Structure 1
Amino acid sequence: MMLVEHAHGTDGTGVVYFPIHPRHGQCLVSLVGLSAAVKLSKAYGGQTIILPKCRAIYRARRNAEVMRMAEAGMSNRNIAQAVCLTERQVRNVLAK
């Protein structure tokens, strides 16, 4: 998910380059650590890959956060502002 978040960022394209020989200081290494970068590079080294947005995963995380905030006693208005939803969307999440 760190790669997805980085790749899509603010108006990102979803593109990630996997170096053939990952080293400290490279973006991939800073995101996932050297050990994971080495494993990824063994499989994808030298390739540029477009990653999916994983909207369903983000939605599930956001909804769990909405539920946690509601259980903590926050108002729907404050929850909506915190997670960038409308109050109606917050109510819909809480109704599930």
Structure 2
Amino acid sequence: MEKILLWVGWIGIAIVIFALLAIVAAAGRGYYPMLALVAALPWAAPALVGFVLVAAFGSMLAQLKAIRAASERQADIFQKLFDRKPSA
């Protein structure tokens, strides 16, 4: 699941950036590209933030999965040490 979220986030970020570049390139010359960029920001900024959050959530899930695996390994090691220790 985390890899899917990472891919969706990164692909979404790339699509938004390419759409912004296409809008700026199609605007012509002079101050029109800047005007087009400013006009596109109301939808582009929330889209970028949303896709960054999706990618960050996917990364967080991967980290939590690694933490859980390490915790289970530590519990197994502790149990082996506890079983091997002679009782007094």
**TM-score (ref. length: structure 2):** 0.31
**TM-score (ref. length: structure 1):** 0.29
Decide which structure has greater helix share: 2
The structure whose RCO (Cα within 8 Å, separation 6+) is larger is 2
